[in-house]
């Protein structure tokens, strides 16, 4: 049975080949007044084209656009939603990367599409349906500073609604897959289950696109009861950073699909595809009643571009072996 492959978020923006369009160089030149927004848009397009082509030539079944215009996983979206302002840089969880902290300063409300245009641009370069990326509402709220709402439940419901409206806008543009990134589900305590439900419920209401609820880094075991029965298409788990997430496989309802995050997006050490395939087989033998995808544990932007490209190749090779086509 074929194991589909996908990435879990963004891809390094730097080119593999010297001399190729480079958004970093263009942004530096813009700072010096030597390049324009138009140059940046062109470099962004070419970088997206490269990222999509790399995935397609490696055989990734559900590629992503790479989020070339995003500085981090939250602010690109939050900046476009009423109620958020963007404040200072802080560390992104336990990574040595940073994000600008969104602040909720007035009622959160979605007024217009934020990510649709860049999604459409990327999809126009692809030969397969691309998976769109959105920050999950629970994490978007936890990454933010709430200076407006008195009750987090109210805030989470509104943030959930805003993300859901964006998902609908993506659907309307033809997005067949939408990835919701939820690292904070791995840090939520069991007493926060009701908050998780308040945030995530709007996401799946009337949803036509297939959805991935992806939890990088830590196991969402403490709030698994709140997410288990939501109508996601795929639940993505990070089985490298949190091996304890394996235990959740036993609790996934029959007939659902799990995204096995077995290709480590945070370490340059390259996986042996045969070993990854064995891990897939282990999951499959433990739960023959589930469907499976194989994915990276998190965004590949934690890696230098050369290693990220190698990881994509290992991912698809492991899936090929696991699918029984390894010769």
Q: How far is the CB of 168 from other proteins (least distance, A)?
A: 29
Q: Which residue number, 38 or 269, has a Cβ lying nearer to other proteins? A: 269
Alpha helices in the chain (DSSP H): 23-31, 37-58, 75-78, 116-123, 137-143, 152-172, 193-204, 224-227, 273-286, 305-322
User: Which residue, among 141, 181, 179, has the nearest Cα to 160 in the 3D structure?
Assistant: 141
Plot region of 66 (φ>0 → left; ψ -120 to 50 → alpha; else → beta) = left
Q: CB of 63: closest distance to other proteins in angstroms?
A: 20
The whole-angstrom separation of Cα 53 and Cα 36 is 26
- Yes or no: say if 234 and 210 are a contact pair by the CB < 8 Å rule: yes
Residue the block writes with tokens 């288990």: 228
Closer residue to other proteins (CB): 38 or 127: 38
Residue 321 CA to residue 93 CA, distance in Å, equals 34
CB of 17 to other proteins, least distance (A): 13
Q: Are 70 and 119 in contact (CB under 8 A)?
A: no
Matching residue, tokens 């659907």: 171
If the CB atoms of residues 28 and 190 are measured against other proteins, the closer one turns out to be 28
- How far apart are CB 124 and other proteins at their closest, in Å? 25
Residue with smaller CB distance to other proteins, 90 or 194: 90
The residue among 59 and 152 lying less far from other proteins, judged by its C-beta, is: 152
Residues near other proteins (CB under 8 A) are 12-14, 23-24, 27-28, 71-72, 88-89, 91, 93-94, 96-99, 267-269, 301-307
Q: How far apart are CA 174 and CA 129, in angstroms?
A: 9
Query: Which residue number, 36 or 325, has a Cβ lying nearer to other proteins?
Result: 36
Q: Kindly tell me which of 91 and 205 has the beta carbon lying closer to other proteins.
A: 91
Q: How far apart are CB 270 and other proteins at their closest, in Å?
A: 8
Q: How far is the CB of 68 from other proteins (least distance, A)?
A: 11
CB of 307 to other proteins, least distance (A): 7
For residue 310, which of 11, 1, 30 has the smallest C-alpha distance? 11
- Distance between CA atoms of 285 and 109, rounded to whole angstroms? 45
């Amino acid at each position: 049975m074929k194991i589909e492959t996908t990435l879990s978020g963004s891809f390094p923006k730097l080119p593999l080949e010297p001399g190729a369009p480079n958004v970093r160089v263009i942004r530096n030149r813009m700072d010096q007044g030597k390049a324009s927004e138009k140059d940046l848009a062109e470099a962004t397009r070419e970088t997206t084209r490269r990222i999509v082509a790399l995935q397609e030539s490696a055989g990734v079944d559900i590629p992503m656009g790479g989020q070339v215009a995003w500085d981090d996983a939250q602010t690109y979206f939050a900046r476009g939603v009423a109620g958020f302002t963007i404040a200072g840089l802080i560390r992104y969880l336990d990574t040595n990367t940073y994000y600008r902290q969104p602040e909720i300063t007035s009622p959160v409300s979605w007024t217009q599409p934020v990510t649709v245009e860049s999604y459409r641009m990327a999809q126009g370069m692809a030969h397969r349906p691309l998976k769109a990326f959105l920050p999950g509402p629970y994490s978007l709220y936890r990454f933010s500073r709430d200076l407006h709402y008195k009750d987090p439940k109210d805030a989470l419901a509104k943030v959930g609604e805003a993300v859901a409206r964006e998902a609908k806008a993506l659907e309307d543009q033809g997005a067949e897959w939408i990835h919701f990134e939820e690292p904070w589900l791995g840090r939520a305590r069991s007493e926060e289950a009701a908050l998780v439900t308040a945030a995530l419920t709007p996401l799946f209401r009337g949803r036509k696109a297939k959805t991935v609820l992806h939890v990088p880094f830590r196991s969402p075991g403490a709030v698994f009861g709140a997410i288990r029965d939501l109508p996601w298409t795929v639940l993505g788990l990070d089985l490298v950073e949190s091996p304890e997430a394996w235990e959740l496989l036993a609790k996934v309802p029959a007939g659902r699909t799990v995204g096995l995050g077995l290709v480590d997006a945070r370490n340059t050490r390259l996986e042996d595809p045969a070993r990854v395939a064995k891990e897939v087989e282990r999951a499959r033998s433990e739960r023959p009643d589930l469907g499976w995808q194989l994915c990276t544990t998190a965004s590949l932007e934690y890696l230098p571009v050369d290693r990220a490209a190698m990881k994509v190749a290992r991912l698809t090779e492991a899936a090929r072996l696991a699918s029984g086509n390894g010769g």
